Structure 1
Amino acid sequence: MVPERPPLSGEHVRTGGCAPHRWPLWQLPRLLLGAVLLVEAVAVALLVGGFLTGPAPTAAELWAGGALCVLGIAYSEMAVGVERERRRLGGASYVDLSSVWTFAAVLVLPGAHAAVVAIVITLHLWVRAWRRWVPLHRQLFSVATVVLACIAVGALLESVGAQQKPLWLVLVAMVLFTAVNSGLIAAVVALSVPHAGPATLFGPPDENLLEVGMLCMGALTAIVLALNPVLLPLVLLPLYAVLRAALIRPLEAAASTDGKTGLLNAATWVAEAERIVGGADPADRAGGVLILDLDHFKAVNDTHGHAVGDHVLTAVADAVRRVVRAHDLVGRMGGEEFVVLPRRAAAGGRSVELDSVELEVVAERIRSRVADLRLEVPTLRGPLVIAGLTVSLGGAVAPAEGSDLAALLQTADSALYEAKRGGRNTVRIAVASGQPSSVPLAARGPGVPARAKD
């Protein structure tokens, strides 16, 4: 398992082949750097110690290890295109399928020998598919965690000493392998990202389910290796099919989200917002909509460049996400313009006045959060501090008789212009008309503001 995680605190994401003394690894905080180097040093020490103190590999073990390496490399070559696409589309968590060969090696080889198989396969996969996105020092840390997981499981199996491994022992080995590998990575991420949630530390549930499935496939591969090694190549095709299927979720996410901010893109936001606004279920309706636009964003791009502007957009998107509730609908309409559709807190007892107050409260929280932002953006000339950002917000409240999304957006757009004319860094809320908008959404062009608001 090689989870993808956010860049470690203080680490610039660089994937080029720079000299080791220039690796971003050395820019990590001391505590974090110490933890990373400690894990790698322990892995190297235990691996060398395993070879020095353990028995020499038998001919059967050499054959089994070689066969697993060949199969793992053959899989990598078959799947290199898919792996590159998954890595390109990957989010905060990433699981590869090399655990099949690694866990199979753990069940049939001593821990140190299984670790060698894992090193060969994972480094080959990195060279062929991941090198562009994953710096070498990060890959080496991931390899170190896999080595420690192999050695820990090998010690467990050796202590039990069972020639035939019962189901309970295989299950315990799976738990131990996952706990060591994922636990070490989660510990380092926790040092880098304070107050990180479980999804950041361990990845989303479906990724973890995929990892468990690969470990089960590894156990079945070990059984085939012991009973009839000639059948081993049959594992490759179903494994490749699983990998192709695993690509569906990141492709769907990429099609519905904005590449810079991770928010919903304009088309997806409009489609989902129309479903909610026009829905028959009162509990799933929204009382209004907000449009927010960064003030003087063109000056940021002109002064510091578009790369810094992208950092600003990402920070503002994150600020909005932290203010709204998880079930509220947030999207980027294009440029520096964002939209929010807050869901109603509860059905029944609603009024235009209450919806207006709630919408203004949300808008003021967003405005205040953005105004408090202080960004440190890495540049070639060192960290650049960006502060003093402001945002103007226009809101539209649905009237008692209801309104369509186009009318809400048109009213919110007009309110936003009022906020701009009122001095920026302010909020304006208006009640939308109950009549359908004379300007359909298709004519407005989601993501293309009608006129400059900067």
Structure 2
Amino acid sequence: MRNPVLLVEVTALALVVLHVARTPSWAEGSLGLAVLCLLGVAHTEIAVGVERMRRRVTEAPHVDLSSVWTFAGALLLPTGYAVLTAIVVHGHLWWRAWRPRVPAYRQLFSTATVVLACIAASTVVGAIGSGDLRGTLMDGPMGLVAVGVALLVYTTVNGGLIAGAIAVSTPQATTAQVLGHWDENMLEIATLCLGGLAAVALATNPWLIVLALPALLVLHRAVLVRHLEEAASTDGKTGLLNAAAWHSAAERELRRARRAGGSAAVLILDLDHFKAVNDHHGHLAGDEVLTELASVLRGEVRDNDLVGRFGGEEFVILLPGLDGRDGEHSELRAVAERIRRRVADLTVMIDTADGPLTVRDLSVSIGGATYPHDGADLRQVLSVADAALYAAKRAGRNVVRMSLHLPRHRPSAHADEPPAASNGVP
């Protein structure tokens, strides 16, 4: 099957049918199924406002905390009941909090990954405990081993399938986009640990499960605050750091470099003739160009480099660890030249009411400076890089300047020409 997403969904459906059909007794475990479904529904209803806000703040995939109930079901219930718990909890969550921002086809795939993770975790616990799930959870160290292995399997299956889908749908995705940020992964593990405790509570004294709800709601609020902080530090058009957030993060990096006796470098980039794009083709076309440029910048630097938008058509990059003590800035110049060439080759396709519009012949002027060679603090380094940027502009644009040193090459013959555009594919 050529579509891997469809393969995941079909596999999940086949295994659901298989395990539901093989459930030995629908009377045994039905109470646990009902309790976990009710708790999952109640959790969503109480936190629906927070979850809707999270979806409005960020469109990126994030931990939804419902795995507390789905993982508890995988540990405690027969596999057929566990998959039904996942379907009910995830379906209700989508219906109440996520639609229409999350299309049905995306929700179907997300539910399929959770179902497969539940089947894998339930199979592991059943194998370790010889099929006696409750007894395994209460069996001292062996219960801890079973829960730990099941947690690892659940995370690997669910996260691996989602990472694969992102990698297939986004060919130039970064490592952080594919594997998720470290704090998101730790939140998922913490949520699964809470699900393990919920399963133990249900196995010993079901009334204790209500103690999990306050912790979940507080966790929801804490995660929302983090998403709001990220939104406040992000430029809405490009997804890069905004000026204030970039300055704050860059200051931290330079303090770290100062303590370690290290180095760093700064590039300031200005998109040439950007006003011509807005004047000739409209601000929506200009926004598309800025978005594509941001994608180029992210793709040409390392994951730990700081890329920000200073405003308008000006961008800035901090590259920790680049050494400019020799005054030649050779490594920084190589990065800047690579970016300049990528932008010069960039073609932006834009859908308009008059048909497809192609914007090309874009260029950037770039100025660079390094710490500590060109300045003792961020302000000084930025000032030197900014002066180098204006030297590049005066030299004809589409060129790189390092500090105040003279260039080793001339700009291209077409550097002064504004970006060309045409209707249709060039």
Short-chain TM bin = 0.7 to 0.9
Q: 2:342 aligns with which of 345, 369, 372?
A: 369
Q: 1:85 aligns with which of 53, 70, 74?
A: 53
In the alignment, which residue of structure 1 is the partner of 2:39?
Answer: 71
What's the counterpart of residue 161 of structure 1?
131
**Residue type at the aligned position of 2:82:** A
Contact 2:264-2:323 at 8 Å conserved across structures: no
Q: Which runs of 5+ in 1 are unaligned?
A: 1-29, 433-452
CA contact (8 A) 2:306 2:318 kept: yes
* Cα distance, 1:231–1:360 mapped onto 2, change above 3 Å: closer
1:260-281 CA-partner distances (Å, limit 9, x unpaired)? 2233211233345456678855
The offset of 1:71, in angstroms, is 1.1
For residue 193 of structure 1, the aligned residue among 158, 161, 170 is 170
2:410 is aligned to none
Residue 426, structure 1, aligned to residue 399, structure 2: yes
- SS of match in other structure, 1:340: strand
Gaps of 5+ in 2: 137-142, 406-417, 420-426
1:79-110 per-residue CA deviation (whole Å, 9 max, x = no partner) reads: 22222233334475411110111111122322
Distance (whole Å) between structure 2 residues aligned to residue 150 and residue 276 of structure 1: 41
State the secondary structure of the residue aligned to 1:233: helix
| Structure 1 residues 361 and 53: alpha-carbon distance in aligned structure 2, compared to 1, 3 A threshold | closer
Q: TM-score, normalised on structure 1?
A: 0.76
Query: Which whole-Å deviations, capped at 9, do the CAs of 1:297-334 have from their partners, x for residues lacking one?
Result: 23333444434433321221232233344554432110
Residue 431 of structure 1 aligns to a residue whose secondary structure is: coil
One of 38, 62, 86 as aligned partner of 1:118: 86
Q: Match for residue 209 of structure 1?
A: 186
Given that residues 39 and 144 in structure 1 are in contact (C-alpha distance below 8 angstroms), is that contact kept between their aligned partners in structure 2?
yes
Are the counterparts in 2 of residues 399 and 431 from structure 1 also a CA contact under 8 Å? no
Check 1:285–1:87 CA distance in 2 against 1; reply closer, same or farther (3 A cut): same
The CA distance in 1 between the partners of 2:376 and 2:219, in whole Å, is: 45
Matching residue of 2:104: 136
Question: Distance in 1 between the 2:229 and 2:183 partners?
Answer: 14
* 2:16 corresponds to: 47
Distance 1:184 1:228 in 2: 35
- Residue 102 of structure 1, aligned match among 45, 70, 93: 70
Distance 1:122 1:111 in 2: 17
The structure-2 alpha-carbon separation of the partners of 1:322 and 1:144, relative to structure 1 and needing over 3 Å to count, comes to closer
Q: For the Cα contact (< 8 Å) 1:283–1:344, is it kept in 2? A: no
The answer to whether structure 1 residue 388 and structure 2 residue 352 are counterparts is no
Cα pair 1:398 1:431 within 8 Å, conserved:
no
1:320 aligned residue (293, 297, 302) = 297
Q: Give secondary structure in 1 for the equivalent of 2:29.
A: helix
Check 1:401–1:395 CA distance in 2 against 1; reply closer, same or farther (3 A cut). Answer: closer
Larger mean CA deviation between 198-207 and 36-45 belongs to 198-207
**Match of 2:307, as an amino acid?**
V
CA drift at 1:402: 4.2
Over aligned residue pairs, what C-alpha RMSD do you find? 3.3
AA of the residue aligned to 1:146? V
1:35 maps to 2:1: no
Structure 1 counterpart of 2:99, which letter?
R
Which amino acid is the alignment partner of residue 228 of structure 2?
A: L
Counting matched residue pairs gives: 397
Q: Distance in 1 between matches of 2:316 and 2:185?
A: 32
- Seen in structure 2, the aligned counterparts of structure 1 residues 384 and 180 have a Cα distance that, compared at 3 Å, is farther
Distance (whole Å) between structure 2 residues aligned to residue 214 and residue 112 of structure 1: 22
Identity of aligned residues (%): 52
